[in-house]
Amino acid sequence: MASLGVHVKRHKVTIVGSGNWGSTISKVIAENTRAYPQLFEEEVQMWVFEEQVTIPKTSRHFDAGSELCITPQPLSLIINRLHENVKYLPGITLPSNVVANPSLPDAVKDSTILIFNLPHQFINRICESLHGKILPYARGISCIKGIEVDESGVTLLSEQIGRKLGIYCGALSGANIASEIAQGKWCETTIAYDPPLMDSRHPTPIGTPHGGSPSASTINLVDPSGEPRKRSARLTPLPADYPPLNHENVRHLFHRPYFHVQMTSDVAGVSLGGALKNIIALAAGWVDGLGWGDNAKSAVMRIGILEMVKFGKTFFGDTVHTSTFTEESCGVADVVTSCMGGRNFRCAKMSIERCMSIDEVERLELNGQKLQGTSTAVEVNLLLRGRGMENDFPLFTAVHNILQGNVKPEQIPELIEPKDS
Ligand SMILES: NC(=O)C1=CN([C@@H]2O[C@H](COP(=O)(O)OP(=O)(O)OC[C@H]3O[C@@H](n4cnc5c(N)ncnc54)[C@H](O)[C@@H]3O)[C@@H](O)[C@H]2O)C=CC1
Ligand SMILES: O=C(CO)COP(=O)(O)O
């Protein structure tokens, strides 16, 4: 319990995002900022992408005479009045110390811990808006499941956030269907946090209010060519008057009796598990929609897990530990839960049952929530095609080709059958 010692300052926490998972994580975090007043400020800011919302008739808050139910109101106002995100996490009471804030600069002001939790397609724009608005010594944790691919190669989102904002950013991922966790049903998660050593030990004298001048620290980065390496980056030290942000204190921020946290340093493994399982879940949804049964679904899951491990080794080399995929919640366990009840699985299944495109099902069924598997399949294919490696990842390639309408889900068995070389 050494890290609970007396420090002059406490960490202020902001959740960047307020969707289904963003709102659930705000509940988890706000319970813990209350539980650890020595470490964290009680109030938790939650940035809300503002939209006008009317309380649905099915809501426990619906009251035909109330102005909130007659005319659309800003979502942030509804959350702060009712302590419920009626659109993205209906039926769940958020702790009163969660404060919804539609202003991004205001929500992150003076925060030392930034939790990024929004659909991955929005993160680049958010980082651009945050530039120059955050404390130079802030630390991040990305709960986002996705990757970024461009002409230079593949980048983890945690790494992307870290680079764009000039901060260290770890990753959280696991077998974590948000609605179950919001109801307090037990599960596990994995947090990868491999911060600069100075965060736990404060080895440098800290002078100015902003923690002095940046000092060199080593962080894990991935070479776009696939060669893993450690690279030196300039990071501003966390001032010594804050509690250290080591594994123990990061765990205090997330761990709950119903949300069990395992800490690791394998940021790449944790991030890739969360991103790639969404592609596998689409395939599982299609075979289930075809009525092919559990054996077929297991086959898709088995091959998907092998491709996940191979992808990690191919593009991230030794920075990824295979054991992260096999032993941690962010690996096989997330594949299993996502292929049983995740949104990617459910929408893919419905697309077969209703003979609709998956984009149409997403629009009709998810009430503004976003699938991540469809865009991740495109990103992964961009990378594989660019390197002539589509045949080395037949399931990922088949999912992409089905989404493009080039082949049909019924062809999955022949498409993923090993080819004689
Ligand atoms: N929902 C779940 O069960 C889990 C989700 N995740 C991951 O967490 C991440 C966030 O997912 P959710 O919170 O579920 O989001 P969601 O699917 O509920 O997405 C909707 C959110 O996107 C926001 N949004 C819409 N347009 C926007 C824009 N232009 N700019 C910024 N924000 C905009 C909406 O306001 C809303 O907050 C994803 O990467 C997802 O894969 C991870 C574990 C569980
Ligand atoms: O990541 C998830 C469960 O761990 C949720 O997956 P979906 O986005 O497919 O719902």
**Domains with residue ranges and CATH for the chain:** 2-265 (3.40.50.720), 275-416 (1.10.1040.10)
pLDDT tens figures, 289-317: 999 999 999 999 999 999 999 999 999 99
Query: Is 344 touching ligand 1 by the criterion CB < 6 Å?
Result: no
Average pLDDT, integer, range 270-283:
98
> pTM for this structure?
0.93
Q: What is the pLDDT of residue 239?
A: 95
Counting every residue written for the chain, the total comes to 421
Query: Is 88 touching ligand 1 by the criterion CB < 6 Å?
Result: yes
Query: Is 196 touching ligand 1 by the criterion CB < 6 Å?
Result: no
* Cα 193 to ligand 1 centroid, rounded to whole Å: 22
Give the DSSP per-residue string, 238-305: PPTTSPP-SHHHHHHHH-BTTEEEEEES-HHHHHHHHHHHHHHHHHHHHHHHTT-HHHHHHHHHHHHH
Bigger pLDDT: 72 vs 418:
72
Residue 44: which residues within 8 A CB-CB, separation 6 or more? 13, 14, 15, 26, 29, 30, 33, 97, 98, 99
- Closest residue by Cα to atom 17, ligand 1, is 369
Query: Is 343 touching ligand 2 by the criterion CB < 6 Å?
Result: yes
Q: Which atom of ligand 1 is nearest to the CA of 21?
A: 13
Half-sphere exposure of 152 (CA within 13 A, CB side): 8
Average pLDDT, integer, range 343-350:
98
- Model confidence at 218: pLDDT above 50: no
Residue with tokens 């925060």: 111
Are 190 and 324 in contact by the 8 Å Cβ rule? The answer is yes
Look at 204-213, 326-335, 353-362, 412-421 and tell me which has the smallest mean pLDDT: 204-213
Q: Return the SS3 of 200.
A: helix
Look at 51-55, 107-111, 167-171, 212-216 and tell me which has the smallest mean pLDDT: 212-216
Q: Which atom of ligand 1 is nearest to the CA of 145?
A: 39
What gap in Å lies between CA 192 and CA 208, rounded to an integer?
30
CA 176 to chain centre: 10
Average pLDDT, integer, range 73-87:
98
- Closest residue by Cα to atom 8, ligand 2, is 343
Question: Smallest Cα–Cα separation from 117: which of 219, 16, 186?
Answer: 16
Give the number of whichever ligand sits closest to the CA of residue 285: 2
Average pLDDT, integer, range 157-169:
97
**What average pLDDT does the structure give for the chain?**
91
Q: Which two tokens stand for residue 160?
A: 């992307």
Query: Is 282 touching ligand 2 by the criterion CB < 6 Å?
Result: no
pLDDT band at 221 (very low <50, low <70, confident <90, very high): very low
pLDDT band at 421 (very low <50, low <70, confident <90, very high): low
- Model confidence at 226: pLDDT above 60: no
- Model confidence at 330: pLDDT above 80: yes
* Cα 118 to ligand 1 centroid, rounded to whole Å: 4
Through-space distance between the first and last CA atoms of the chain, rounded to whole angstroms = 57
- Model confidence at 203: pLDDT above 70: no
Give me the residues paired with residue 116 across strands.
16, 142
pLDDT band at 418 (very low <50, low <70, confident <90, very high): confident
pLDDT tens figures, 390-407: 999 999 999 999 999 999
Q: At what angle do helices 334-341 and 267-289 cross, to 10 degrees?
A: 30
- Model confidence at 216: pLDDT above 90: no
- Closest residue by Cα to atom 6, ligand 2, is 342
Q: Which atom of ligand 2 is nearest to the CA of 174?
A: 4
Residue with tokens 């697309």: 351
pLDDT band at 205 (very low <50, low <70, confident <90, very high): very low
Question: Smallest Cα–Cα separation from 314: which of 153, 200, 189?
Answer: 153
Interface TM-score (ipTM) > 0.95: yes
Which three-class secondary structure string do you get for 69-121? HHCCEEHHHHHHHHCCCCCCCCCCCCCCCEEEECCHHHHHCCCCEEEECCCHH
Q: What is the pLDDT of residue 197?
A: 66
Give the number of whichever ligand sits closest to the CA of residue 362: 1
Query: Is 175 touching ligand 2 by the criterion CB < 6 Å?
Result: yes
Q: What is the pLDDT of residue 370?
A: 98
Catalogue the active-site residues.
277
pLDDT band at 66 (very low <50, low <70, confident <90, very high): confident
- Model confidence at 217: pLDDT above 60: no
Strand pairing of 153-156 and 147-150? antiparallel
Give the number of whichever ligand sits closest to the CA of residue 344: 2
- Model confidence at 104: pLDDT above 90: yes
Q: Count other C-beta atoms under 10 Å from residue 310's C-beta.
A: 15
Q: Which atom of ligand 1 is nearest to the CA of 17?
A: 37
- Model confidence at 280: pLDDT above 60: yes
What gap in Å lies between CA 369 and CA 88, rounded to an integer?
7
Query: Is 285 touching ligand 1 by the criterion CB < 6 Å?
Result: no
Give me the residues paired with residue 16 across strands.
47, 116
